[in-house]
Amino acid sequence: MDRGASTLGPRAAGTQPRSRGWKAALPFVGPLLVLVVLGFNGPILLIVNYSFSAAGTYSFVNYQELAATPVFLRVIGNTFRITVLTTFVVAVLGYILAYWITSLSERTRNIVLALVVVTFWVSVLVRTYAWIVVLGNAGLVNRTLLWAGAIDAPIAFLYNDLGVIIGMANIQMPLLILPLYAAMIKVDQRHLQAAASLGASERTIFWRVFFPQTIPALASSVMLVVILCLGFYVTPAILGGGRVPMVANMLDTYINSIPRWELASAVSIVLLLFTLALFMIYRRLDKWASGEEA
């Protein structure tokens, strides 16, 4: 099939301005660059520095300690487990919702999109606590089910993996839906019509024509969700009931209560390396997904 430049326009046309040089762009990019380097990259280097320091000298002591204590790696492993589960839920539900939105009339579409965006206006903390009112033992759902006689004892939605995944998925959902929707709306309808005119079933049209064109957007929003999940603090702390150990919560202890910043730094750097490795895999996938034009 010919995937012409006309339909994938913005990307294919974007190679030319690069040659015009970065000097012209510097006054515009400069302030942001300074902010990122001083406010983000600098502190990360300080953390690297902390992770290699022990009693005033440089050493690998912190990393040795980390390697010798399986619990740190297990907490990191658990963090990835919760992250993968949450991302899976977000990807499946978010994809369906975004796809449904594209099928609506423009008016309804705007209303539904507004409903998705509105969740950004409410603080993460408030949204997290709200789940207690909805899903707690004495919450709306359990009381309704008990009243209706559907269950004998309240269902334990909260204070376990399920509670954390529900809470995190709720917060991450818009971050996946919005870019995915933007990509879906750009898919050229003529491709689908062409497929239909050649006799493809609706299922085939979706899986062989529509879905492949949304993979890059799906992959990049999934990556965004994964990276944000890895650092989640509030939701596991509140909805996990302290039973779902995640890295950010462990780091909080080592930074604020113990406080062993050197060890906490080493754990952070290991997490950062894992995340970078994941990012590299994603880049590979992205190249593969966007095929020959990458």
In the complex, which residues of this chain contact another protein (CB under 8 A)?
A: 39, 43, 69, 71-72, 74-75, 78, 123, 125, 132, 136-138, 156, 159, 237-238, 241-243, 245, 250, 253-261
Residue 234 Cβ vs another protein, minimum distance, rounded to whole Å: 10
Residue 90 Cβ vs another protein, minimum distance, rounded to whole Å: 21
Residue 281 Cβ vs another protein, minimum distance, rounded to whole Å: 26
Residue 57: strand pairing partners:
54
Distance between CA atoms of 149 and 109, rounded to whole angstroms?
37
Distance between CA atoms of 14 and 2, rounded to whole angstroms?
20
Q: DSSP for 207-224?
A: IIIIHHHHHHHHHHHHHH
Count CA atoms closer than 13 A to 190's CA, side-chain side: 7
Whose Cβ is closer to another protein: residue 24's or residue 46's? 46
Whose Cβ is closer to another protein: residue 180's or residue 269's? 269
Residue 58: strand pairing partners:
53
Scanning 231-254, the segments in alpha helix (DSSP H) are 234-239, 247-252
Whose Cβ is closer to another protein: residue 21's or residue 39's? 39
Give the helix/strand (H/E) hosting 262.
helix 261-290
Residue 237, both tokens: 């702390």
| Separation in Å, CA 270 to CA 81, 128, 226 | 16, 28, 16
239 burial (CB, 10 Å; 0-12 / 13-18 / 19+) is: buried
Computed on alpha carbons and rounded to an integer, the radius of gyration of the chain in Å comes to: 23
Whose Cβ is closer to another protein: residue 88's or residue 129's? 129
Whose Cβ is closer to another protein: residue 145's or residue 156's? 156
Residue 48 Cβ vs another protein, minimum distance, rounded to whole Å: 15
Whose Cβ is closer to another protein: residue 95's or residue 157's? 157
Whose Cβ is closer to another protein: residue 80's or residue 254's? 254
Pick from 160, 152, 157: nearest CA to 132: 157
